[in-house]
Structure 1
Amino acid sequence: MKYKRHILLTTFVGLVIVILISFSKKKSNIDDKVIYYVADNNLEDIAFYWKDGSGNVIGSIQNLKTMIAKDNKELVFAMNGGMFRADNSPQGLYIDQFKTVIPLDTSSAEGNFYLKPNGVFYITSNNTPFICKTEDFIDNGHVKFATQSGPMLVINGEIHPDFKEESTNLHIRNGVGILPDNRIFFVMSKAVVNLYDFANFFQSYGCKNALYLDGYVSRAYIPEKNWMQTDGNFGVIIGITAPMRSE
Structure 2
Amino acid sequence: MTAKLLRALLLCLLPAAAAAQSPCRDMAFEGASYTICTVQAGDDLRLFQTAPDGSPYGTFDRVNDALAASGQTLGFAMNAGMYHPDRAPVGLMVENGQSRAGLVTAAGPGNFGLLPNGVFCIATRFSVTESRRFASDAPACRFATQSGPMLVIDGALHPRFLPDSDSRHIRNGVGVGAGGNIAMFAISNTRVSFHQFARLFRDGLGLPDALYLDGSISRLYAPAMKRFDRGYPMGPIVGLVTPAG
Partner of 1:113: 112
The residue that corresponds to 2:126 in the other structure is 129
What residue number does 1:179 align with? 177
Asked if the contact 1:121–1:147 (Cα under 8 Å) also holds between the matched residues in 2, the reply is yes
RMSD: 1.7
Query: Does the 8 Å contact 1:171/1:191 carry over to 2?
Result: yes
Q: 1:163 to 1:141 in 2, by over 3 A?
A: closer
Is residue 217–residue 231 contact of structure 2 (8 Å, CA) maintained in 1? no
Q: Which runs of 4+ in 1 moved over 4 A?
A: 138-141
User: 1:231: how far off?
Assistant: 4.3
8 Å contact from structure 2 (residues 93, 100) kept in 1: yes
Distance 1:230 1:63, change over 3 A: farther
Residue aligning to 2:156? 158
State the AA in 1 paired with 2:153: I
1:76/1:170 Cα in 2 relative to 1: closer, same or farther (>3 Å)?
A: same
Query: Do residues 92 (structure 1) and 99 (structure 2) align?
Result: no
Query: Which is further off, 71-80 or 61-70?
Result: 61-70
Deviations 1:74-120 (A, max 9, x none): 11010100000000000100011222221101122210000010000
Structure 2 Cα separation of the partners of residues 137 and 73 of structure 1: 32
What's the TM-score once normalised by structure 1's chain length? 0.82
Q: Which residue of 2 aligns with 1:244?
A: 244
- TM-score normalised per structure 2: 0.83
Amino acid at match of 2:40: D
| Separation in structure 1 between the aligned mates of residue 177 and residue 228 of structure 2, nearest angstrom | 24
**Within 2, Cα distance between the matches of 1:76 and 1:55?**
24
Which stretch shifts more, 210-219 or 131-140? Answer: 131-140
Give the distance between the partners of 1:184 and 1:145, measured in 2 at CA. Answer: 14
**Aligned twin of 1:202:** 201
Quick one: distance in 1 between partners of 2:118 and 2:99?
16
Q: 2:168 aligns with which of 170, 185, 191?
A: 170
SS in 2 for 1:175: strand
Q: Secondary structure at the match of 1:171?
A: coil
The CA deviation at 1:140 is: 5.1
State the distance in 2 between where 1:197 and 1:120 align.
Answer: 21
Name the aligned partner's letter for residue 150 of structure 1.
Answer: G
Q: % of aligned pairs identical? A: 34
Q: Which runs of 5+ in 2 are unaligned?
A: 1-27
Number of matched residues? 215
| 3-state DSSP of counterpart to 1:113 | coil
Deviations 1:143-188 (A, max 9, x none): 1111000000001001111111111001110000013463110000
